[in-house]
Chain A
């Protein structure tokens, strides 16, 4: 860690001019940081204020003005009666769909990833590296390349347009990342530990259960948050493999925003967008540290 304004005690006494310069630098620093904070916050601010305005006020007022008469009408509509195409049930059923897709998807892919990572880190065998590379490659393919055959496969399995179908898709394409997380975490645990446990007669699962699992809480949190964010925010799979009743919330939101006929209800759009974003935002606010760990773990350690 370094510091532009860091000056050793001796240098600090050099002159008042340099001290003034230092203060100015400090202020500029905070000013810049503040400006960028505003830039990042502005869309969220606009979304929230717009969602609390009436359409009349939106048409006459300014984008960044605070609402004069706060109304929750737009929220009510977004929740229960906004139209996603022909259906007008709001976002509620689609939020529920997303939960039904995300919970099993996250759980299954994380458990598989934990076991895979454990093998790759501690039970290496000939060809393991190649296998790991093959698995990792799956993280990087553009999903467009599997879209068409997946649609046919889901049809063959009788899962086309269903929630179990989407769970399957998210699980399969999530394994690469979850395996990567757990492998990189378990690889830091000394192999001597496993060797000693083996000598004591413990087997594969026993060692995992009593040595690795108790150490794994942080990486489980990272993996769960990562997968949850990925699945909740997914649009491509959702729009390709769902049918009218099984669409996830991102698809429903897009339908509300882009297929409204007649008057554009911007306030409803914004309320719906916030509703769709709330679960992942909440996770981020509550467990931001682990969220960042997931983002960086995948890429810094590779």
Chain B
């Protein structure tokens, strides 16, 4: 008995987590998947109905806006954060005297809640008393910067605040990547008289491919789950102009009382994450075997 226990202790230790994940992740996903195939409204109904909810979802203009916004926001947020993060990392990698302090400044937004970030930017970007009023006060009377209340531009304020929050984090990732490149190769290249920008483009950046991949994964994950930022900054408005799938899902689940739509939109969100994360996890775990 003790022997058996001894042999199975590792599995017993994992058992509670295993059960919890099985139920709270996989079981719950299955539940949501099932409800997305029913006609549930305010209360869940479990009679199978088919793909009606998905058909309805994709013919809803509001969902269309949400998916378009996710594409705009996701692409810009990821691209700008990566470009800015890489640039800041390279700039900081030049034996800067106060590197520690600068790094601290660049990265602190990552410690903030998106609600705080949204609140701050909402105040800065409000046309009446914020940035616009400030520049007008400097004498540029016709200066306009009203993205926050312009339905066509409001989504870009989300990009702005999102990049502000995450760029420092990407910088930290890239900086760690830069520092892990083999110094001998770099020294050899320097001895050979290769220009510094070439050392970056030909040696250092290509060898950081895995860092690019993880930054991409983390950022896309952040983008898809951006819910708080939209709620705090624009509340999804003006109108539905800045709705994302996450806010759509929340509205259907908790204010519209439409569980079927909430479940089907959540499943689409998960499919998007799946498409990005599964290849990554697969390659990660394969690398572990080598």
Chain A residues in the interface with B (C-beta under 8 A): 1-6, 8, 29-30, 32-33, 36-37, 39-44, 46-47, 50, 58-59, 62-64, 112, 115-116, 118-119, 123, 125, 129, 131-138, 140-150, 152-153, 172-173, 175-176, 179, 203-205, 229, 232-236, 239-240, 250, 253-254, 257-258, 266, 269-270, 272-274, 276-277, 280-281, 283-285, 288, 291-292, 295-296, 298-300, 302
Pair B225/A143 contact, Cβ less than 8 Å: yes
Pair A145/B270 contact, Cβ less than 8 Å: yes
Check A300/B131 contact, CB under 8 A, given A145-B28, A288-B107. no
Check A203/B9 contact, CB under 8 A, given A116-B17, A172-B20, A250-B228. yes
Which A residues are in CB contact (< 8 Å) with B130?
63
New A-B contacts (5) at CB < 8 Å, excluding given A145-B267, A233-B115: A63-B124, A112-B17, A135-B18, A144-B250, A236-B250
Which B residues are in CB contact (< 8 Å) with A116?
13-14, 17
Chain B residues in the interface with A (C-beta under 8 A): 6, 9-11, 13-14, 16-18, 20-21, 24-29, 31-32, 35, 44, 88, 91-96, 102, 104-117, 119-124, 129-131, 133-134, 137, 164, 168-169, 172-173, 176-179, 183, 186, 190-191, 196-197, 199-200, 204, 210-211, 214-215, 217-218, 221, 224-225, 227-228, 231-232, 235, 245-246, 249-250, 253-254, 259, 262-263, 265-267, 269-270, 273, 277, 281, 284-285, 287-289
Q: CA A112 – CA B16 in complex, angstroms?
A: 9
Q: What 9 A-B pairs come out closest when comparing CB atoms?
A: A233-B113, A123-B10, A284-B111, A299-B214, A235-B228, A146-B28, A149-B31, A144-B266, A149-B28
B261 to chain A, nearest CB (A): 11
Q: CA A5 – CA B190 in complex, angstroms?
A: 12
A238 to chain B, nearest CB (A): 9
Check A283/B263 contact, CB under 8 A, given A142-B269, A146-B25. no
Please report whether the interface of chain B is mostly helix, strand, loop or mixed according to DSSP: helix
Which A residues are in CB contact (< 8 Å) with B177?
300
Check A204/B6 contact, CB under 8 A, given A46-B120, A302-B284. yes
How many contacting A-B pairs (Cβ < 8 A)?
293
Please report whether the interface of chain A is mostly helix, strand, loop or mixed according to DSSP: helix
Pair A2/B186 contact, Cβ less than 8 Å: yes
Give 17 A-B contacts (CB < 8 Å), ordered by A residue.
A2-B178, A6-B94, A41-B105, A43-B120, A44-B120, A63-B134, A137-B281, A140-B281, A175-B17, A240-B253, A240-B254, A276-B116, A280-B113, A285-B108, A288-B107, A300-B211, A302-B214
Pair B137/A33 contact, Cβ less than 8 Å: no
Could you say which of A281, A283, A300 contacts B214, with CB atoms under 8 Å apart?
Answer: A300
Residue of B whose beta carbon sits closest to that of A136: B281
Pair A29/B94 contact, Cβ less than 8 Å: yes
Pair B102/A37 contact, Cβ less than 8 Å: yes
Pair A131/B113 contact, Cβ less than 8 Å: no
Q: CA A136 – CA B130 in complex, angstroms?
A: 43
Most chain B CB within 10 A, of A4, A6, A29, A112, is at A4
Pair B115/A295 contact, Cβ less than 8 Å: no
Could you say which of B11, B178, B265, B289 contacts A144, with CB atoms under 8 Å apart?
Answer: B265
Could you say which of B25, B111, B200, B227 contacts A137, with CB atoms under 8 Å apart?
Answer: B25
Pair A148/B173 contact, Cβ less than 8 Å: no
Which B residues are in CB contact (< 8 Å) with A64?
134
Most chain B CB within 10 A, of A5, A143, A258, A299, is at A299
Most chain A CB within 10 A, of B183, B190, B199, B267, is at B190
Pair A33/B269 contact, Cβ less than 8 Å: no
Q: CA A229 – CA B29 in complex, angstroms?
A: 26
Q: CA A92 – CA B112 in complex, angstroms?
A: 18
Pair B288/A299 contact, Cβ less than 8 Å: no
Which B residues are in CB contact (< 8 Å) with A143?
225
